[in-house]
Amino acid sequence: MNYAKTGYFPMPDSPSISLTYSGAVIGTQGNAGQTVQSIGKMSPIPNDPVTGLPLAYSVNASRSKGEILGFLENSENVSQSTPFASEAYAGNISGYPFTRGDSL
């Protein structure tokens, strides 16, 4: 909705980090929180069901692409046509990463 109005996606909420490749900033990653929610007058964005943390949200450097990441409890919750890695472990988080939006 915000992209249609302004021509760019909103920045992620803090804490956020710059994503770099070969020294160049290619995007920003943070949380899908109040900033993202308030732009589209959306209902509160739920926390990730596996981690209990806010969903991760990323935009590319020009903010023309946006993507949300969450973790699913098991791969049965995802159709075969949905792109996801087979399994991920980040710290003590175990689950199946699931993304929606543009491929950054």
Average model confidence (pLDDT) for the chain? Answer: 77
Cα–Cα distance, 54 to 44 (Å, whole number): 11
> Residue 28: pLDDT above 90?
yes
Nearest to 102 by CA among 22, 12, 40, 9: 9
Beta strands in the chain (DSSP E): 13-21, 24-31, 56-60, 66-72, 88-90, 93-101
pLDDT in tens, 53-93: 888 899 999 999 999 887 777 766 555 444 444 444 445 56
> CA torsion, points 28, 34, 35, 40, in degrees to nearest 10?
120
